[in-house]
Every structure is written in C-alpha cells, then in structure tokens.
Amino acid sequence: MTELLRVEKLSAFYGASQILFDVDLALEEGRTLALLGRNGAGKSTTMKTLAGVVPARRGRVFFAGRDITHAPAHARAKLGLAYVPEDRQVFPEHTVEDNLLIAAKAGPGGRRDWTLSRIWETFPLLAKLRKRGAGRLSGGEQQLLAIARALMGNPLVLLLDEPSEGLAPIIVAEIGKLVRELGAGGATILLAEQNMHFCLRIASHAAVIDKGHIVHRDDIAGLSANSDIRRRYLAM
C-alpha cells in the first residue's frame, strides 16, 4: 500500500510554549486514521501543522512522497492535502452552491472525481439547501458544506478536524455515515476526534494524543476494548 502521509518527530510551538512533541503518524492510501485525544491534547495543532497553518519547529512531514515540512498552506492544498478546520470557515454571504463552485478545481494529476452533481448525490441535504446563504445553515449543515467544499478540490487526503464537535446527535450520525461512505469509496482521511464512538465504524486505526505526545496506537477495535487507555486518555 502507498503511504500518502508520513509525519516524523514533529514538534510545534505557540510562541515559547511547546505544544507537539515528536509526533509520528503514518497514513496509507485508502485508510482512515483517527487521531483521538481529549480537550487541549493537541489534535488541532497537529492538523494545523500538517495543513501548514502552524509551522513545524522540528521533524518532517512527507506527503505523496514529497517533503512538505516547510511548504506554505496553499502549496499543500495544491498538492492535494485538504484541510477542514474545526471552525469550518464557510463563506457566510455566499450560497451553498457558490461555496462549492469557488472551491472547484482539478486535483493532482488533473483528477476530477468530484463534480457539483456528484456532491448533490452524495450530500442530498446540501442539494436541498443549494440556494441558501451558508451563514444561515445550522452547524451540522455547515460541517457538511465544509467537507463537500474540500472534496470539490479533488484532494488525495482529507484532514477532518472534529467534524462531530458541538453538533446534535442526529446530524452527528449523518456526518458519520458520510465520512464512512467516503472511506468505503477509497478516500484517505485523517480524522481528529474526542469522540471515539464516532470513529468506531469509520477508522481502521487510531493514534491517541495526550499533552502533545502520541501515547498509544492500535486498531480501532483494540482501542475500543482497552478501557484502561480510554479512561486514561479519552475520559470515557
């Protein structure tokens, strides 16, 4: 299997405070890896460092065989690394459809797997809301739009930062179903979550982060059966 994303001994800081300590991760093509950890564990900082929003102080990031450790965010996006931030960042004054059209581009190697019509098929809820201003969507609808918008760039890898956060259970289930379908369709996903249950039928493997260190790795079934690790690092 091809390894699309490889993170080696990554360290990141905010000012003088070190947040990530020697983080190692590997993500193979077609897999979904969960990055699990409680509040403030360093999930978003990891995602931001991979997206190029926060600089790596030490360590290396390889993407599709290239060293992107010091590449700017737009260059990473162009290479096919799509980042969906935890605050979603849709354009509130634009309609759902325009948010998607603005993001449409061929992926690496000219891939155009995702078109507007495929988005409407995959996200029937968004199809119904296509003319609505994105600022008038619910949190869950905005999350769906943020994921759909990332797909419109035909990426190789999706970085999803806590897609279930702060949402009602019914929409969390909807988003879970969608992410699972994307994975089953061959997408490669790094999924940061606090909610292990959300990841159970979505991710094959998990890395647990705590205070900026990867403290445990397992397949998702092993983690789910490991109440000691869950209690210690996931508060469940």
Under the rule (CB under 5 A), what is the footprint of Mg ion? Answer: 43-44, 86
Q: C-beta of 109: minimal distance to Mg ion in Å?
A: 32
Pick 13 or 62: Cβ nearer ligand ATP: 13
Q: Which two tokens stand for residue 60?
A: 């290396």
Residue nearest to Mg ion (CB): 44
Which of residues 39, 109, 117, 227 is near ligand ATP by CB under 6 A? 39
Single-letter residue type at 221:
A
42 contributes a contact to ligand ATP by CB under 6 A: yes
Residues 59 and 19 sit within 8 Å (Cβ to Cβ): no
Q: C-beta of 9: minimal distance to ligand ATP in Å?
A: 18
Q: How many helices (H) and strands (E) does the chain have?
A: 10, 10
Residues in the chain, overall count: 236
Q: Which two tokens stand for residue 11?
A: 């360290």
Secondary structure class of 227 (helix, strand, coil): helix
143 contributes a contact to ligand ATP by CB under 6 A: no
194 contributes a contact to ligand ATP by CB under 6 A: yes
Where in the chain does DSSP place strands (E)? Answer: 3-14, 17-28, 32-36, 58-63, 66-67, 81-84, 157-161, 188-193, 205-210, 213-219
Percent helix / strand / coil, the chain, rounded to 5:
40, 30, 35
Which of 85, 83, 63 has the alpha carbon at shortest distance from 73?
83
Q: C-beta of 122: minimal distance to ligand ATP in Å?
A: 26
117 contributes a contact to ligand ATP by CB under 6 A: no
Q: C-beta of 180: minimal distance to ligand ATP in Å?
A: 22
Task: Scan residues 83-112 and list those touching ligand ATP (CB under 6 A).
Answer: 86
How many C-beta atoms lie closer than 10 Å to residue 47's C-beta?
Answer: 23
Q: C-beta of 146: minimal distance to ligand ATP in Å?
A: 15
Q: Which does 37 bind (CB under 5 to 8 A by kind): Mg ion, ligand ATP, none?
A: ligand ATP
45 contributes a contact to ligand ATP by CB under 6 A: yes
Which of residues 5, 19, 146, 152 is near ligand ATP by CB under 6 A? 19
Q: Which positions lie near ligand ATP, rule CB under 6 A? A: 14, 19, 37, 39-45, 86, 162, 194
